Amino acid sequence: MVYLNALIQGVLLGGLYALFAAGLSLIFGVMRLVNIAHGDLIVLAAYVAVLVMQALGLPALPSLIVVVPVMAALGYLLQRLLFNRTLGADLLPPLLVTFGLSVIIQNGLLEAFTADSRRLQAGALEVASIRLGEAVSLGILPLLQFATSVALIAALQLLFYRTAWGRAFRATSDDRAVAELMGLDVRHIFGLAMALSLAVVAVAGVFIAIRTNFDPAIGPARLIFGFEAVIIGGLGSLWGTLAGGIILGVAQAIGAELDPGWQVLAGHIAFLAILAVRPQGLFPKVLS
């Protein structure tokens, strides 16, 4: 019974991990860039929420109304001013530039906000829960986050496969030069893709900041969880990423049930096991 509870908590946590992963895999799909600063941008979004809440007196979830556009605009600027200049055949420049950015963001946040950990208050929502039978209790907040994650991923799927924007993203990812021949300004398309990714990051950041304590240093772990979810689920598939996130969340929850110190390690082991046995992931769409 206790494990059933762990399973359910793991699934709900997995929705959050899928959000971390969705932004990451979107960018990799469109422009073959892996943003090492992705996790730190999630944390940055949380701190932006802190500022927005202080400045405008908004509660945590409504602060998204400001945080999402702010992060999206930041994403567009980062892509046009910085990342676009690193894209090309060589692996090193985008990797090192995003790594450098990661260091800058972490230390910048440290300077601005100190290493104190904090948490966004969501009021009564934080402890509200539904009881299902004796041993299982579903928190409203985790449920809400899970539902939002699924909805966002569905929306992204829709965007990619049913809209002109999505067509443009897919064409650009197939062949940059020919996409230009279609009248697409590829630099602008990449900017839009990064804006979209950071919009998702904004939601993920606020969610995680409500759920747990955060400080400037927790970024890399979020990157790693997102990355593991992508690899477990399989490259090129957003629904696969959701599945990957859920599997990771469940692995961590079971590990935590055995021993709280084993939570993260259990996730890593699940990841390594998938890598060993089925490296293309569980639901790969693209065989690259």
Partner 1 sequence: MSAAFRVAHATRSSQVGLALASLAVVVLALAPYWGGREHLRLLAEIYAYVALASLWNLLAGYAGLVSVGQQAYVGLGGYALFALAMLAGVHPLAAVPLAGALGAVLAVPVGALLFRLRGHYFAIGTWVMAEVFRLIASQVSVLGGGSGISLPAGIVTSMAASRQMREFLVYWAVFALVVTVLVAIVLLLRSRYGLALTAIRDNEIAARSSGVDVGRIKFAVYVATASGTAMVGALIFLQKIRISPDTAFSVNDWTAFVIFITVIGGIGRVEGPIIGTAVFFLLRQTLADLGSLYLMMLGAVAIAVMLKAPKGIWGLIADRFGWQLFPLERRLVKPTTRDA
Partner 2 sequence: MPDPLLAVEGLDAHYGDFQALFGVSLKIARGEVVAVVGANGAGKSTLLQSIAGLMRQAPGAILLDGEAIGRLPAHAVVARGIALVPEGRKLFPSLTVEENLLIGGQLGRPGPWSLTRIYELFPMLAERRNSSSTTLSGGQQQMCAIGRALMSNPRLLLCDEISLGLAPIVIRDIYARLPAIVADGLALIIVEQDIMQALAAAARVYCLQEGRVVLEGTPATLTREAVAAAYFGV
Distance (Å, whole) CA 193 – CA 80: 11
DSSP character string of 246-278:
HHHHHHHHHHHHH-GGGHHHHHHHHHHHHHHH-
**135: how many CB neighbours lie within 10 A of its CB?**
12
Determine the number of helices (DSSP H) and then strands (DSSP E) in the chain: 11, 2
Which one of partner 1, partner 2, none is in contact with 220 (Cβ closer than 5 to 8 A by kind)?
partner 1
180 scored as a contact of partner 2 (CB under 8 A): yes
Binding region for partner 1 (CB under 8 A) out of 7-15, 132-140, 168-176, 265-273: 265-273
Binding region for partner 2 (CB under 8 A) out of 7-15, 66-74, 136-144, 173-181: 173-181
258 scored as a contact of partner 1 (CB under 8 A): no
**Residue from the set 132, 178, 221, 272 that interacts with partner 2 by CB under 8 A:** 178
**Residue from the set 57, 133, 183, 261 that interacts with partner 2 by CB under 8 A:** 183
228 scored as a contact of partner 1 (CB under 8 A): yes
89 scored as a contact of partner 2 (CB under 8 A): no
CB of 176 to partner 1, least distance (A): 17
Q: Quick one: 84 exposed, middle or buried, by C-beta within 10 A (0-12, 13-18, 19+)? A: middle
Start-end of H helices in 163-262: 164-174, 176-181, 186-211, 219-233, 238-258
Distance (Å, whole) CA 46 – CA 98: 19
* Cβ atoms of 235 and 34 closer than 8 Å: no
**Residue from the set 51, 87, 159, 224 that interacts with partner 1 by CB under 8 A:** 224
Q: Which residues bind partner 2 (CB under 8 A)?
A: 164, 167-168, 170-171, 173-175, 177-186
Q: Which residues bind partner 1 (CB under 8 A)?
A: 28, 32-34, 36, 82, 85-86, 91-97, 99-104, 107-108, 110-111, 220, 223-224, 227-228, 231, 261-262, 264-265, 268-269, 271-272, 275-276, 279, 288
